[in-house]
Copies of this chain bind each other. A is one copy, B any other.
């Protein structure tokens, strides 16, 4: 199993940089004062399709052979990866088959449809997604671009932290949310490649703490239909992301639903930017562990901003 390294992430960045937005790094004196540390928000909510996923999807699409491009790509996703792959495919003139759980937020379904992808809905379980995906691969010959269990996808996701560190220099800590582990894998491989001194912390909802369990026990725990507002963090680690995370991540902290929601509100109110609950999870773990972060220069990967405004938790 080939593990992504900093050099792979640098290569991915040179491949994708003209297709992606170089997103801004925002700061807020008010939030620094509230949290007692220096926060640097890498705003992937301003990325194309509203999420970091466009980085990994673009890198995966640009890594296809000409033969593979003819038959298109397929994936299953709770939404952001689906939109990302759909757009990355369309920008390269290839077909995208997307398997989505029928429970995905309307805003995400609409986005994927708007990018011209061919959508198949399925039950909201990992098993249903994988089976539906497999059927499409057999019928169409499409190449699977897994949301996170994919070397090229992970390398693409790591480019957000690469840009962050280029912009602010080396922070003390970088926090990224963890669901399937693509973002955390890419972030940690990149960051530790740059400096072993930077702590890399994963942020996970307490209600979907399978990555925390896996990390603490050393045995990969699958997620079991977790219920959390952080709808981008429902999935389980893969063998690949688990390996990268075990190698590079210093710890995983969990956050309650209450602190995820209040962190999301705080960013909306004070910074005037829309972040999705999965992103708020990264700030929530800081609010729940003030001693750990006090006085530290802390980078946060704001993973995305796709929220169904008609179903807000406040």
A268–B274 CB distance below 8 A: yes
Interface residues of A in 197-238 (CB under 8 A from B): none
Can you name the residue of chain B whose Cβ is closest to the Cβ of A45? Answer: B272
Chain B nearest CB: distance from A219 CB in Å? 38
A107–B314 CB distance below 8 A: no
| Contact flags A75-103 to B (C-beta < 8 A → 1, else 0) | 00000000000000000000000000000
Instruction: For the complex, give the distance between the alpha carbons of A305 and B28 in Å.
Output: 15
Copies in the complex: 2
Say whether, besides A269-B107, A274-B268, A274-B274, A309 and B314 are in contact (CB < 8 Å).
yes
B309–A265 CB distance below 8 A: yes
* A310 is an interface residue with CB less than 8 A from chain B: yes
Q: Report the count of interface residues on A (CB-CB < 8 A).
A: 17
Given contacts A24-B24, A272-B275, A309-B312, 17 further A-B contacts (CB under 8 A): A45-B272, A46-B272, A50-B272, A107-B269, A265-B309, A268-B274, A268-B309, A269-B309, A272-B273, A272-B274, A272-B305, A273-B273, A273-B274, A274-B274, A309-B314, A310-B314, A312-B312
Residues of A that sit less than 8 Å from B by CB: 24, 45-46, 50, 107, 265, 268-269, 272-275, 305, 309-310, 312, 314
Chain B nearest CB: distance from A103 CB in Å? 19
Chain B nearest CB: distance from A140 CB in Å? 29
Chain B nearest CB: distance from A108 CB in Å? 11
Instruction: For the complex, give the distance between the alpha carbons of A268 and B268 in Å.
Output: 11
Q: Which of A46, A50, A273, A312 has the most CB atoms of chain B within a 10 A radius of its CB?
A: A273
List B contacts of A274 (CB < 8 A): 268, 272-274
List B contacts of A309 (CB < 8 A): 265, 268-269, 312, 314
Instruction: For the complex, give the distance between the alpha carbons of A50 and B270 in Å.
Output: 8
Chain B nearest CB: distance from A229 CB in Å? 15
The 8 nearest A-B residue pairs measured at CB: A272-B305, A272-B274, A45-B272, A309-B314, A310-B314, A268-B274, A273-B273, A265-B309
Can you name the residue of chain B whose Cβ is closest to the Cβ of A24? Answer: B24
Chain B nearest CB: distance from A281 CB in Å? 17
Instruction: For the complex, give the distance between the alpha carbons of A265 and B314 in Å.
Output: 16
Chain B nearest CB: distance from A96 CB in Å? 19
List B contacts of A268 (CB < 8 A): 274, 309
Chain B nearest CB: distance from A303 CB in Å? 12
Instruction: For the complex, give the distance between the alpha carbons of A265 and B107 in Å.
Output: 12
Can you name the residue of chain B whose Cβ is closest to the Cβ of A47? Answer: B272
List B contacts of A50 (CB < 8 A): 272
List B contacts of A305 (CB < 8 A): 272
Instruction: For the complex, give the distance between the alpha carbons of A16 and B179 in Å.
Output: 46
